[in-house]
Structure 1
Amino acid sequence: MQTAITIDQDYLVTRLKALLAIPSPTGFTDEAVRYVARELEHLGLEVILTRRGAIRARRAGVTERPARGIVSHVDTLGAQVKYLKENGRLELVSIGNWSARFAEGARVSIFSSKGIYRGSVLPLKASGHTFNEEVDTQPVGWPYVELRVDALARNRDDLLQLGIDVGDIVAVDPEPEFIDNGFIVSRHLDDKAGVAIMLAALEAMQRANVETPVDSYWLFTIGEEVGVGASAVVVPDIASLVAIDNGTTAPGQNSSEFGVTLAMADQTGPFDYHLTKKLFELCAEHDIQVQKDVFRYYRSDAASAVEAGHDVRTALLTFGVDASHGYERIHLSALTSIAKLAVYYAMSEVEIKRDAEETAKGLKGFTHQKSTKAEQDLKPEDTPAE
């Protein structure tokens, strides 16, 4: 009889709050890596770090192969100083792909050689009393915003004297709000919510002494927002890789803020047929709400792993995010659902035994894809389903 899994929501929320409090734009992830690594060690796992800080934690199963990987990313969107302006303000470029529309008005931290400064990102024409309608009619984009530093910065020389220079990392305040009805509103839920989901899944497994048929690797990457995510953290034993990241609850999408949204494809193409089918069936087996979606303008750690040459089956589990890469909103229901599914996936039996080897001679054990003719029961006179 399979162990019943309960996800500790208080643990999950506590981890998410702590992660959101640690600035970690791509390129400035060390402290977030330290937090996650310490938590993994607290849960009893051995932590392996790559040179730059991607995390790999192995949880032993009955056999080593074909191992399963589950991955999320600790890095977030942010900005970087491009130019010191003569008016004492900073020109910015984005870290990751996000609109300056969501940067306007944000409070930020600038990480300079002399320490942290605070500031605000503002449109070039910010004063309503001076520019009137031009505040609304000016273009939107990174060339049309600047960072006002909360320090004596009257000109470029002042900025240099403060220790601020080209290339300094800028972290945007998350401004999180955890609402009693389960909604969570914050920047950087992509993908700190995914990291919290994985930690909560591991906590549930450790608490219940869950045994898995094969090893599972819990991976945390540091460069997903710039496209390199899981390129250097996957090991040869891993045959299947499930990414956990945000979905998009926008018009024309099938994602939901509740339950699991299973991605069938993103801009890099379809996810693995057999792995996505297995995850969908596990949701039905364990009464987990699930819906499918396709994302046109999206990539994840799964893509970077395959593009780096890892021959792994990939899938993507998402929590529906409203206003993704902006001021995001999710619901605790989705986080709990994905954490449960991650555990049940790790516990499930391996169906494709051949995956234990990266290559094998001949067709023995190779997979099939359904190709039988569909049975059609509908008749023209039938009443359409409501």
Structure 2
Amino acid sequence: MSVLDIDVDYLVGQLKALLDIPSPTGYTDTIVRHCSQELKRLGLTPELTRRGAIRAIRQGSRRAGARALVSHLDTLGVQVKAIKENGRLELVPVGNWSSRFAEGARCRVFTHSGTYHGTILPLKASGHTFNEEVDSLPVSWPNVELRIDAVTTSPAETMALGIEIGDMVGVDPGQSFMENGFIVSRHLDDKAGVAVMLAALEAMERERAATPVDIHWLFTIAEEVGVGATSILTPEVASMVAVDNGTSAPGQNSSEFGVTLAMGDQTGPFDWHLTTKLVDLCRDNDLPFRKDVFRYYRSDSASAVEAGHDVRTALACFGIDGSHGYERIHVHALETLAKLIAAYAVSPVEIERDTQKMSGLHGFTDQPTAEADQPAVLDPPDGEGQEHAHMGQGKGAQT
């Protein structure tokens, strides 16, 4: 099976458009409209939950045992916790991220009366005033504040602008698309995953690719706070691949190039059979890939399983440097991942039993447990050659 060609210009264009739309968790209506309109343009009919998670089904040869692909539209952000005596804003994070990466960020405050721009600053921001105390200030959210780009020096003046406690704040991405293929920006988690899914879908529509089962294209709106794909799956879905970032950091095996396949995260291992299928698709189609395990990571897959959905789950990633900070990825990873997603969608179904919610042992899966063949030890250390060589030859003869 040959992989579909991905329109990289389309992929990058979609990513730029997505990054231009602020979408912190809890303030995602605008990006939901954008994504829904693009799905319509590609020929699908999106359905929205009450709060805006998107499901768009591309019909295959049958409904039962459907496959799902999922990424999330929401990003990290902040929320107004209090209006301070100096008129500036105390903040709390939306999602799990450090105030270290918020310091110096440009942002937008969304109020009922309009949007205000501002900058997130440490409480001691002026070196001319605080000297070395600028460097000794602890890193924490109580030690930063939002300076609004408006005339205000008191709570009354700030509230007169229409700014209230609880208002949402979107952090500007500050994106940079380099000629060498690198992309540097905030919120690549997971707008790059959304762009990958749209690019895979565009390729399938362009080539009129047929699939053995329905493919559910899912876009969630609260992954960063742990909700994710809790309520978007239907009973027909038997397997789901989350498309998200893989952290290319010291101690990890992820890469900013090719595909990173997560074997497990903090919620446990991903489905062995589905992950093995993705590995085989990479090998069969010469798609470069790596495997990794994440200690401090969860995705839409975790939320779906924890909500009680009996689906096989896997996590296919683009490698990202500086996750939940000022992130960097490479176009090569996005293109390769889109090829894998499309290849998975059109690939044959191996586990026919998955079309049923419950059944007996007939057709149940197998995992390898037999002893591996091991070559004889021809040159063992410490003068133990004869005994060890004999043991190795004997074991090989028995298998």
TM bracket (short chain): over 0.9
Aligned residues: 381
Q: Is the 8 A contact 1:302 1:314 kept in 2?
A: yes
Cα 1:380–1:250 shift into 2, 3 Å:
farther
Q: Per-residue displacement from partner, 1:205-257 (whole Å, max 9, x unpaired)?
A: 00000001111000000000000010010111000000000000100000000
Distance 1:88 1:55 in 2: 39
Q: Look up the match of 2:186.
A: 187
Q: Per-residue displacement from partner, 1:243-302 (whole Å, max 9, x unpaired)?
A: 000000100000000000000000000000000000000000000001000000000000
Q: Look up the match of 1:332.
A: 331
Matching of residue 320 in structure 1 with residue 319 in structure 2? yes
Cα 1:172–1:378 shift into 2, 3 Å:
farther
Q: Is the 8 A contact 1:3 1:210 kept in 2?
A: no
Q: Look up the match of 1:137.
A: 136
Q: Look up the match of 1:250.
A: 249
Q: Look up the match of 2:206.
A: 207
Cα 1:61–1:292 shift into 2, 3 Å:
same
Q: Look up the match of 1:23.
A: 22
Distance 1:332 1:378 in 2: 45
Give, as a single letter, the amino acid of the residue that structure 2 aligns with 1:45.
L
Q: Is the 8 A contact 2:5 2:339 kept in 1?
A: yes
Cα 1:239–1:82 shift into 2, 3 Å:
same
- Describe the SS at the equivalent of 2:170: strand
CA drift at 1:377? 2.0
Distance 1:296 1:228 in 2: 19
Distance 2:274 2:262 in 1: 11
Q: Look up the match of 1:109.
A: 108
Q: Per-residue displacement from partner, 1:161-196 (whole Å, max 9, x unpaired)?
A: 000010000000001100011100000000000000
Alignment equivalent of 2:361, drawn from 360, 363, 376: 363
- Describe the SS at the equivalent of 1:282: helix
Q: Look up the match of 2:300.
A: 301
Distance 2:207 2:180 in 1: 28
Q: Per-residue displacement from partner, 1:326-351 (whole Å, max 9, x unpaired)?
A: 00000001101110000110111110
Q: Look up the match of 1:375.
A: 373
Give, as a single letter, the amino acid of the residue that structure 1 aligns with 2:33.
R
CA drift at 1:3? 5.5
Q: TM-score, normalised by structure 1?
A: 0.97
Q: Look up the match of 1:78.
A: 77
Q: Look up the match of 1:273.
A: 272
CA drift at 1:378? 6.1
Higher Rg: 2
- Describe the SS at the equivalent of 2:229: helix
Q: Look up the match of 1:216.
A: 215
Cα 1:10–1:382 shift into 2, 3 Å:
farther
Q: Look up the match of 1:162.
A: 161
Cα 1:3–1:259 shift into 2, 3 Å:
closer
Distance 1:137 1:376 in 2: 57
Q: Look up the match of 2:393.
A: none
Give runs of aligned pairs for residues 287-298 of structure 1, distance below 5 A: 287-298=286-297
Cα 1:314–1:102 shift into 2, 3 Å:
same
Distance 1:138 1:30 in 2: 37
CA drift at 1:376? 1.4
Give, as a single letter, the amino acid of the residue that structure 2 aligns with 1:377.
P
Give, as a single letter, the amino acid of the residue that structure 2 aligns with 1:106.
A
Q: Is the 8 A contact 2:32 2:53 kept in 1?
A: yes
Q: Is the 8 A contact 2:3 2:343 kept in 1?
A: no
- Describe the SS at the equivalent of 2:65: strand
- Unaligned stretches of 5+ residues in structure 1: none
Give, as a single letter, the amino acid of the residue that structure 1 aligns with 2:314.
A
CA drift at 1:381? 2.6
CA drift at 1:112? 1.3
Distance 2:113 2:18 in 1: 24
Distance 2:376 2:158 in 1: 72
Distance 1:278 1:235 in 2: 22
Q: Look up the match of 2:31.
A: 32
- Describe the SS at the equivalent of 1:240: strand
Q: Is the 8 A contact 2:3 2:339 kept in 1?
A: no
Give, as a single letter, the amino acid of the residue that structure 2 aligns with 1:203.
E
Q: TM-score, normalised by structure 2?
A: 0.94
Q: Is the 8 A contact 1:91 1:147 kept in 2?
A: yes
Distance 1:76 1:382 in 2: 55
Distance 1:380 1:244 in 2: 46
Q: Is the 8 A contact 1:253 1:293 kept in 2?
A: yes
